[in-house]
C-alpha cells in the first residue's frame, strides 16, 4: 500500500514517499525492502509530479510514462481511469497529482474520487494508519529548531516510518521531490538506518542515573547509510540509492523508472560516473 504525502508551502510543493513493495504471494520478496524497491514518486515533466500507492506499481509507472506530456486535465482523467480499471480487477491504486502549471495544484485521485486538495495545502494517498502516524510526527515537529523547515519536517516524519517499521506496509528508502522554482527535482537526502528495535538501559552510578539504548537480544544490531543521487535535465526523473556498506546501488532510469539496475560501486562519485557513461543518466549526488 505504502504512503505518499504532498504539501504546498512557500509557494511550491514538496512530496515524500517510501519505496516498499508488498508481495502478497511471496513474503520473502516483501522483506527485501532494498532490492525490491520502487520509487513511488515520478517526475512526469518539469512542472508536474505524481505519487503512487497501491498494487502493481510497475504497470502503473509504465502507463504514466506513456502519458507524461499530456495536459493536467488529461492526466487527471487518465489516472482516474487507471484507478477504476484496477478496482474492477480487485486491485487498488491511488494517486497524488502535483502541478505547478502555473500555480501550485494538488489532487487526490482514486477509483471513487478525483478531488482537488489545493485549498487544504496537502494531499495524501496510501495506508491510513501510516498517514495517522505521519501526521502525528509532523505535528510534533511544529515546535523546535526545525519548525519552519517544511521540507525537513516532511522528510523526518517519513524517515521515522521507514526506519523503525512502524507500519508493515511502509518501508525501504525515502524519496523526496520538491519544486525548485524551475522544475520538480528529487532531493539528495542522506539517511542512517539503525536497528529496528531498541531497549533503554538504566544504570545507577555515583554521578547519578545514566540511560543508554541498545538492541535487545536477538535483534540485528547492524545499521547502514543511504545516499540518494538525483536526476537533472534531461533525465530529471532518474534516481539512485547507494548503500556504501553493501557497495551496492540501485539506479532507476528516467525512461524506465519501474525497474532498477543493480550496480556494484564503491562510492557516490563512481555511481554518478557509471550512471552517465553506461546508462545515459545525468545525476547529482
Instruction: State the first-to-last Cα distance of the chain, in angstroms, to the nearest integer.
Output: 29
* Judgement on whether residues 251 and 110 belong to the same structural domain of the protein: no
Per-residue pLDDT of the chain (285 residues; tens, 9 = 90+): 799 999 999 999 999 999 988 765 555 555 556 667 899 999 999 999 999 999 988 999 999 999 999 999 999 999 999 999 999 999 999 999 999 998 999 999 999 999 999 999 999 999 999 999 999 999 999 887 778 889 999 999 999 898 877 898 998 889 999 999 999 999 998 877 665 555 556 666 665 665 565 555 654 556 678 899 999 999 999 999 999 988 999 999 999 999 999 999 999 999 999 999 999 999 998
Same domain for 32 and 166, yes or no, is: yes
Domain boundary residue, one of 187, 208, 225? 187
Claim to verify: residue 25 and residue 78 sit in the same structural domain = yes
Same-domain pairing of 76 and 102: yes
Residues 196 and 279 in one domain: yes
pTM, whole model, 2 decimals? 0.87
- Domain extent at residue 230: 190-285
Total domains in the fold of the chain:
2
**Residue 121 buriedness (CB in 10 A; 0-12 / 13-18 / 19+):** middle
Report pLDDT for 34: 64
Same domain, 54 and 42: yes
State the CB neighbour count (10 A cutoff) for residue 262: 9
Three-state secondary structure readout of 232-274: CCCCCCCEEEEEHHHCEEEEECCCCCCCEEEEECCCHHHHHHH
Segment 136-153, tens digit of pLDDT: 999 999 887 778 889 999
Final residue before a domain boundary, out of 126, 155, 187: 187
Of 167, 187, 207, the last residue of a domain is 187
Amino acid at each position: 500500500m505504502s504512503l505518499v504525502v504532498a504539501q504546498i508551502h512557500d509557494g511550491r510543493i514538496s512530496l515524500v514517499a517510501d519505496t516498499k513493495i508488498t508481495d502478497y504471494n511471496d513474503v520473502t520478496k516483501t522483506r527485501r525492502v532494498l532490492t525490491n524497491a520502487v520509487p513511488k514518486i515520478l517526475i512526469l515533466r518539469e512542472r508536474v509530479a505524481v505519487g503512487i500507492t497501491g498494487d502493481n506499481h510497475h504497470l502503473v509507472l509504465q502507463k504514466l510514462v506513456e502519458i507524461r506530456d499530456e495536459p493536467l486535465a488529461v492526466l487527471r482523467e487518465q489516472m482516474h481511469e487507471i484507478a477504476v480499471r484496477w478496482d474492477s480487477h480487485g486491485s487498488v491504486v491511488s494517486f497524488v497529482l502535483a502541478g505547478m502549471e502555473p500555480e501550485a495544484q494538488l489532487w487526490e485521485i482514486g477509483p471513487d474520487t478525483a478531488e482537488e486538495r489545493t485549498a487544504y495545502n496537502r494531499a495524501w494517498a496510501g495506508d491510513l494508519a501510516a498517514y495517522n502516524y505521519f501526521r502525528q510526527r509532523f505535528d510534533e515537529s511544529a515546535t523546535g529548531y526545525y519548525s519552519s523547515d517544511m521540507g525537513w519536517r516532511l522528510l523526518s516524519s517519513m524517515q521515522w516510518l521507514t526506519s523503525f517499521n512502524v507500519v508493515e506496509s511502509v518501508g525501504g528508502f525515502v524519496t523526496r521531490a520538491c519544486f525548485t522554482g524551475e522544475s520538480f527535482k528529487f532531493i539528495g537526502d542522506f539517511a542512517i538506518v539503525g536497528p529496528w528495535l531498541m531497549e533503554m538501559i538504566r544504570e545507577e552510578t555515583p554521578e547519578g542515573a545514566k540511560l543508554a539504548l541498545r538492541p535487545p537480544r536477538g535483534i540485528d544490531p547492524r545499521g547502514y547509510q543511504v545516499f540518494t543521487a538525483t536526476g537533472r535535465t534531461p533525465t530529471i526523473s532518474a534516481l539512485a540509492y547507494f548503500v556504501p556498506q553493501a557497495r551496492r546501488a540501485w539506479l532507476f532510469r528516467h525512461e524506465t523508472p519501474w525497474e532498477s539496475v543493480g550496480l556494484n560501486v564503491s562510492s557516490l562519485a563512481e555511481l554518478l560516473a557509471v550512471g552517465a557513461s553506461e546508462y545515459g543518466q545525468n545525476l547529482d549526488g
